[in-house]
């Protein structure tokens, strides 16, 4: 009986002394989580950081002269955010505007400027696309990735310009071709998406 009383006393002391304390590691983890909730640092990144401009002036063997100017739209960008540790990285990918001028026999036959809205319309990037479709969100998130003259000699009465739009930080890309005939009529063709 005495051993039973002694065992009961030890069990009672064990239950009474257990106050629900947490270990040092648990306390540290909780403190870090609380710190992350209260302290945040924001880092703004702009790509490209400064105004950039790229010009192409090409005379093709078929008699066309093509001038393309692509330049940073400093007022229009796409925002991607990423939180790592306690730092909120906000990356602003600037959109680009581009101008296309085509001459045939020293006569201007095509002269157009494109910003994000005009490009959305020309390349059929619209907000009504179903989620999961190839061009979903290209109207909001895609930026100009490349624009260049296609110097394929098979284009005899036409100028071909390749245009690539992509959504940053993803593998979503849309390739287009602008075909401009010798009368200055442009045709926008989607060539590939992935």
Indicate the range of 28-42, 49-63, 157-171 predicted with least confidence: 28-42
What is the number of domains present in the chain? 1
Q: Which residues pair with 112 in a beta bridge?
A: 100
pLDDT at 128 (0 to 100) = 78
User: Mind listing the pLDDT tens digit for each residue in 151-184?
Assistant: 888 888 899 999 999 999 999 999 999 999 999 9
Calpha distance 74→15 (Å, rounded): 67
pLDDT tens for 100-126 read 999 998 999 999 999 999 998 988 888
Q: Does a structural domain hold residue 34?
A: no
Q: List residues bridging with 67 in a β-sheet.
A: 57, 101
| CB-count burial class (<10 Å; 0-12, 13-18, 19+) for 26 | exposed
Query: Which residues, including other chains, have CB under 8 Å from residue 12's CB and lie 6 or more apart?
Result: none
Q: Is the pLDDT of residue 18 over 70?
A: no
* Integer Cα distance of 191 and 71 in angstroms: 24
Answer whether residue 111 is part of any domain.
yes
Residue 103 lies in a domain: yes
3 state DSSP class of 153: coil
Which domain CATH number covers 153? 2.40.128.510
User: Is the residue at 81 inside a domain?
Assistant: no
* Angle formed at CA 28 by CA 25 and CA 29, multiple of 5 degrees: 85
Q: What is the residue range of 119's domain? A: 51-75+95-193
């Amino acid at each position: 009986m005495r051993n039973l009383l002694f065992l009961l006393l030890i069990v009672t002391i064990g239950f009474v002394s257990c106050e629900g304390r947490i270990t040092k590691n648990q306390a540290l983890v909780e403190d870090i989580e609380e710190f992350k909730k209260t302290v945040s640092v924001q880092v703004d990144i702009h790509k490209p950081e400064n105004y950039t401009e790229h010009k192409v002036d090409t005379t093709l063997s078929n008699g066309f002269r093509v001038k393309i100017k692509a330049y940073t739209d400093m007022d229009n960008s796409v925002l991607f955010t990423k939180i790592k540790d306690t730092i909120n990285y906000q990356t602003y990918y600037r959109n680009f505007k581009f101008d296309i001028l085509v001459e045939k026999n020293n006569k201007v036959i095509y002269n157009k400027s494109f910003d994000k809205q005009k490009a959305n319309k020309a390349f059929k990037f619209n907000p009504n696309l179903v989620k999961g479709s190839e061009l979903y969100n290209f109207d909001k998130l895609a930026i100009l990735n490349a624009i260049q003259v296609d110097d394929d000699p098979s284009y005899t009465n036409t100028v071909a310009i390749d245009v690539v739009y992509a959504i940053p930080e993803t593998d979503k890309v849309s390739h287009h071709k602008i075909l401009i005939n010798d009368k200055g009529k442009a045709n926008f063709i989607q060539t590939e998406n992935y």
